[in-house]
Amino acid sequence: MPLARLRFAMPLAALLGVMHTLSFAPNHWWWLQILSLTGLAALVQRAPRLRDAAWIGYAFGLGWFVSGVWWLYISMHVYGDMPAWMAALAVLLFAGYLALHPALAVWAWQWLTRRGRWSGTASALIFGAAWAVTEWLRGTVWTGFPWINGGYAHTDGPLAGYAPLVGVYGIVLIAAVLAGLLCVAAERRLHWLAGIAGALVLVAGWPLHGIAWTQPVGKPISVRLLQGNVPQDVKFQQTGIERSLELYTKMVTEKPAQLVVTPETAFPIMIQEMPQEIALALRTYVDATGSSVLFGAASEDSRVDYTNSVFGIGPQFQGVYRYNKHHLVPFGEFIPFGFHWFVNMMNMPLGDFRRGLPVQPPMAVADQRVAPNICYEDLFGEEIAASLRHADQPATMLANVTNLAWFGDTIALDQHLQISRMRALETGRPMLRATNTGATAVVRPDGSVQARLPVFTLGTLQADVQGTQGLTPFVRAGNAPALGLGALVLLVACVRRRRASAD
């Protein structure tokens, strides 16, 4: 590809990356996710050299991630007091790192298919496999960052029906194969059987979405989800701490419910520092009403042992229930080696926390068992599936407690709700979301939103929620089927390429 054409192709690829972001919440344009990948594949196929293909994929990734996670700038500059230039540069560098994955995907696709005769269907399958495997790498390496994974765009589309079967990475594989088929169809006559197969795969998602992979268990419980809307810029100052303690104590004890859930760090102090009058008020409320309470707070178990936790009190057990966050956020909850200088540039209450166990028991509430996860953890569907798969008594509903006030009134709030909806689809369980500023919501096992509060409002969301039992195929097998298929396709393509090179 001449330099002039490459200079034209890269901005176009970046624009396609922005289009890819537009397919996610709050827009829910699932079809745009497939079309943007189709455009990328078409551009890459016109690149005469592998390095040109990689640069086009990299430009797509930059457009995708800069437009998709720009809100990280808000947390670092607005709330972290980092200089604007440094925060902007940090977002750009982070997006540049993430963009290596789509660059690797298209490079591998072209490297594997440019020798030997490949049918359009086979080429599309290799494209999908490369895309899915590199997306999995992005969500795994260096603890992973699977935000705006391509599969999340399909929570409202026909491919949502595949979530309980193969999970979000399986949907990524299917969507990328469909994009590859569209690309081939646009450039040459596609074999009619392949066209029919692609259409059937897409359409089959609708009836699959109607299958109930789990079953209701026990009686529904009354749930109250609290949204305090405490401004982030004062939350960890003394006035904000006092406000939060008073506000959430009042909101919790306002009226009875079988389960009351607060956001992450709703009580922005160490649990050991909880004022006696607040602890007594919560216990009195539980004893008098028979309610159970899940509330967020940190814990200082020793001078060097901190956890980000959810604590629970209720009538069905003695003492205090505790869940410790397992999947910690780099730079937020643990500091990677050599990056203390970067964290020191921000005025945030950050530090190194201890990880909780991968599998922790749920909290019993009436006929249900509620498994908490904290903020970022519900991005990792395999880990949530494993916690259900290996539990002695699997949870019947999930509860995500979070504080996205760090990112202001941005697309991050809707994106995170979309992620929680995918977890409900994958596990066949309702998801309760209690957030500080939004989106506080109840998600049904089919991924639809039963109820939600407006963002950046003070309020309580009350609903009756039915728990479910049973394990979906995805919970039983995790990512293994989708990734195994992707790895097998790439392996076969690699072997065939070597044979073609030897001839």
Instruction: Using alpha carbons, select from 381, 416, 383, 386 the residue that is nearest to residue 402.
Output: 416
Q: Is 148 a residue whose pLDDT tops 60? A: yes
State the CATH number of the domain containing residue 317. Answer: 3.60.110.10
The verdict on 97 and 223 lying in the same domain is no
Q: Is 191 a residue whose pLDDT tops 80? A: no
Catalytic residue among 135, 183, 333, 375: 375
The verdict on 302 and 336 lying in the same domain is yes
Q: Is 184 a residue whose pLDDT tops 90? A: no
* Residue 375 among the catalytic residues: yes
pLDDT of residue 482: 97
Amino acid at 58: Y
pLDDT of residue 449: 98
* Residue 235 among the catalytic residues: no
Q: Cα separation of 46 and 116, whole Å? A: 17
More confident residue, 353 or 88: 88
Domain membership flag for residue 471 = no
* Residue 377 among the catalytic residues: no
240 burial class (0-12, 13-18, 19+ CB within 10 angstroms)? middle
pLDDT of residue 346: 54
Q: Is 132 a residue whose pLDDT tops 90? A: yes
The verdict on 203 and 339 lying in the same domain is no
Percent of the chain with pLDDT over 70: 94
Count: domains in the chain: 2
Amino acid at 251: M
The verdict on 274 and 186 lying in the same domain is no
Q: Is 448 a residue whose pLDDT tops 90? A: yes
Q: Tell me which of 89-103, 183-197, 205-219, 389-403 is least confident.
A: 183-197
Catalytic residue among 135, 235, 325, 382: 325
Domain membership flag for residue 472 = no
Domain membership flag for residue 503 = no
Domain residues for the domain of 251 are: 217-465
The verdict on 274 and 395 lying in the same domain is yes
Q: Which residues does residue 324 pair with via DSSP β-bridges, in sequence order?
A: 309
Confidence of residue 199 (pLDDT cuts 50, 70, 90): confident
The verdict on 182 and 258 lying in the same domain is no
The verdict on 182 and 246 lying in the same domain is no
In sequence order, the 6+-apart residues with CB closer than 8 A to the CB of 173 are 128, 129, 131, 132, 166, 482, 485, 486
CA distances from 227 to 110, 120, 248, 292, 483 (A): 49, 51, 9, 17, 38
pLDDT of residue 80: 85
CA distances from 9 to 1, 20, 30, 41 (A): 9, 16, 24, 12
pLDDT of residue 305: 87
Catalytic residue among 135, 264, 333, 377: 264
CA distances from 268 to 64, 166, 240, 283, 300 (A): 34, 38, 9, 19, 12
CB 267 within 8 A of CB 241: no
The verdict on 235 and 145 lying in the same domain is no
The verdict on 164 and 246 lying in the same domain is no
The verdict on 147 and 245 lying in the same domain is no
Q: Is 189 a residue whose pLDDT tops 70? A: no
The verdict on 177 and 313 lying in the same domain is no
Domain membership flag for residue 470 = no
Domain membership flag for residue 122 = yes
The verdict on 449 and 493 lying in the same domain is no
Percent of the chain with pLDDT over 90: 80
CB 365 within 8 A of CB 396: no
Predicted confidence (pLDDT) per residue in 321-354, tens digit:
999 999 988 766 766 655 655 555 555 554 678 8
Predicted confidence (pLDDT) per residue in 354-384, tens digit:
899 999 999 999 999 999 999 989 999 999 9
CB 201 within 8 A of CB 174: yes
**CA-angle at 466, arms to 373 and 29, nearest 5°:** 65
Mean pLDDT of all residues in 148-164: 97
Mean pLDDT of all residues in 74-90: 92
Q: Is 275 a residue whose pLDDT tops 70? A: yes
Predicted confidence (pLDDT) per residue in 45-77, tens digit:
999 899 999 999 999 999 999 999 999 999 999
More confident residue, 199 or 154: 154
Domain membership flag for residue 402 = yes
